[in-house]
């Protein structure tokens, strides 16, 4: 499935958590994918899994963007004080 290619390890770990699949912190990206794909309901739920992964990635990216903006604002305020 093509949707796996752009996923970060953190996204896949979150996906596994949401699906109730246990993966260790040291599991590799490939191992996490294999565990999820081995779920008995994987074939029936693949579209849901794909959408959930996309939602998790979007949420992560939005949080990262907000943190960057907050950092930039803090830096600008610090420069104004100087």
Give φ, ψ of 59 to 5 degrees. -60, -45
Most confident range (mean pLDDT) of 1-5, 49-53, 75-79 is 49-53
- In this predicted model, which residue has the larger pLDDT, 80 or 20? 20
Residue 29 pLDDT level (bands cut at 50, 70, 90): very high
Question: Cα 15–35–38 angle (5° rounding)?
Answer: 110
Specify the pLDDT at position 9.
95
Distance from C-alpha of 76 to C-alpha of 28, rounded to nearest angstrom? 39
| Average confidence score pLDDT of the chain | 93
Q: Which two tokens stand for residue 15?
A: 């996906």
């Amino acid at each position: 499935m093509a949707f796996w290619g752009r996923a970060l390890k953190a996204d896949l770990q979150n996906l596994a958590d949401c699906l109730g699949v246990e993966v260790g912190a040291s599991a590799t990206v490939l191992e996490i994918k294999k565990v999820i794909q081995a779920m008995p309901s994987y074939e029936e739920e693949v579209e849901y899994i794909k959408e959930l992964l996309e939602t998790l990635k979007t949420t992560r990216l939005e949080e990262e963007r907000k943190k960057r903006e907050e950092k930039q604002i803090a830096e600008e305020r610090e420069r104004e004080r100087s």
